[in-house]
């Protein structure tokens, strides 16, 4: 039984450490920990050489996701964000097979055919994520967006960020039920509210893993998943190994039960 692909969002190691060490320094850690994919974070780049990172990643047997903070749709614009072309090119330079962006301001006037023209010129697959904003963090706009994606048969999948639904008081369970068939990548993070009222990502407890197990039942078996929560400690390889193993197990019980 093949294990699902597990990615690590490099933001998990903390912005300061990642910028200080450079994103390439984590390639060997992820490979040693059993991860199969690495998620580069555009907002944490410093002086990294894309070609060098692409070669180093491939040499370690890893595949890449490129995460850009750009929004696919800008307010009041019917055509996709012009930065998408650059982001796709940058993702390809990093050797990434996937580009992750936020949905942004999707409305009924957005031009999906124009989006398709941009995507047809790239080999990188687009992943559109629910973020923490009012415009891009609610279920309903994603339902409308992916209804149009299906209608136009566009090669787009969803990045389903489990934790981000909390920021707009959306039900992750409802989101999984309504959007699960569109999901190609799952961002895993538990969320808690600090004493100052701010929501923050935290590593999962056993109860979180059990809840995530239920969410993945609505998605393709073996869907790619990633840690996007604090991975901080003295031994990053050991810590990452433990979390890669835990995330790889999600959804596996469904397959085992099917063979009983």
Q: What is the predicted pLDDT for the residue at 175?
A: 98
For residue 37, what are the β-bridge partners? 7, 63
Running DSSP on this structure, what letter comes out for residue 66?
Answer: E
Contact assessment for residue 30 and residue 18, using Cβ atoms and an 8 Å cutoff: no
Q: Where are the alpha helices (DSSP H) in the chain?
A: 15-21, 27-32, 50-59, 83-93, 112-119, 139-152, 172-179, 206-216, 236-249, 252-258
Return d(Cα 28, Cα 30) in angstroms, integer: 5
Note the pLDDT tens digit of each residue in 185-226.
999 999 999 999 999 999 999 999 999 999 999 999 999 999
Domain membership flag for residue 186:
yes
- Residue tagged 């969320």 (tokens): 191
Q: Which two tokens stand for residue 189?
A: 């993070």
Give me the domain span that covers residue 184.
Answer: 6-258
Q: What is the pLDDT of residues 35-81, one digit of tens each?
A: 999 999 999 999 999 999 999 999 999 999 999 999 999 999 999 99
- Tens digits of residue pLDDT in 140-166: 999 999 999 999 999 999 999 999 999
For residue 85, tell me if it sits in a domain.
Answer: yes
Query: What is d(CA 227, CA 236) in angstroms, rounded to the nearest whole number?
Result: 13
CATH code, 222: 3.20.20.150
Characterise 106 by phi-psi region: left (phi > 0), alpha (psi -120 to 50), beta (else): beta
Helix (H, G, I), strand (E, B) or coil at 25: helix
121-135: average pLDDT: 98
Tokens of 61: 């047997």
- Name the band, by pLDDT with cuts 50, 70 and 90, for residue 1: low
Q: What percent of the chain has pLDDT over 70?
A: 97
Strands 199-202 and 224-227: unpaired
What's the pLDDT at 2? 77
Give the pLDDT confidence score for residue 105 in this predicted structure.
Answer: 98
Q: State both tokens at 225.
A: 């998943």
On whether residue 1 sits in a domain, the answer given is no
- Report the domain count for the chain: 1
Run of H or E residues at 156? strand 156-161
């Amino acid at each position: 039984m093949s294990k699902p692909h597990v990615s690590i969002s490099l933001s998990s190691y903390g912005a300061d450490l990642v910028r200080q060490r450079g994103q390439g320094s984590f390639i060997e850690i992820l490979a040693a920990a059993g991860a199969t994919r690495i998620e580069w974070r555009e907002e944490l780049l410093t002086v990294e050489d894309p070609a060098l990172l692409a070669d180093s990643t491939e040499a370690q047997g890893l595949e890449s996701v490129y995460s850009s903070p750009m929004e696919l749709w800008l307010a009041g614009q019917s055509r996709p964000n012009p930065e998408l072309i650059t982001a796709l090119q940058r993702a390809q330079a990093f050797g990434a097979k996937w580009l992750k962006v936020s949905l942004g301001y999707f409305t009924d006037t957005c031009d999906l055919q124009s989006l398709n023209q941009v995507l047809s010129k790239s080999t990188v697959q687009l992943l559109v994520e629910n973020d923490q904003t009012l415009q891009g963090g609610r279920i309903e706009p994603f339902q409308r967006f992916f209804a149009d994606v299906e209608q136009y048969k566009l090669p787009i999948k969803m990045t389903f960020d489990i934790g981000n639904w909390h920021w707009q008081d959306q039900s992750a369970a409802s989101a999984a039920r309504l959007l699960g068939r569109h999901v190609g990548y799952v961002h895993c993070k538990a969320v808690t509210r600090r004493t100052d009222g701010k929501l923050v990502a935290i590593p999962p407890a056993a109860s979180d893993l059990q809840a995530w197990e239920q969410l993945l039942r609505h998605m393709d078996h073996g869907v790619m998943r990633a840690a996007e929560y604090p991975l901080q400690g003295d031994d990053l390889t050991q810590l990452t190994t433990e979390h890669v193993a835990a995330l790889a197990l999600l959804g596996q019980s469904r397959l085992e039960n099917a063979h009983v």
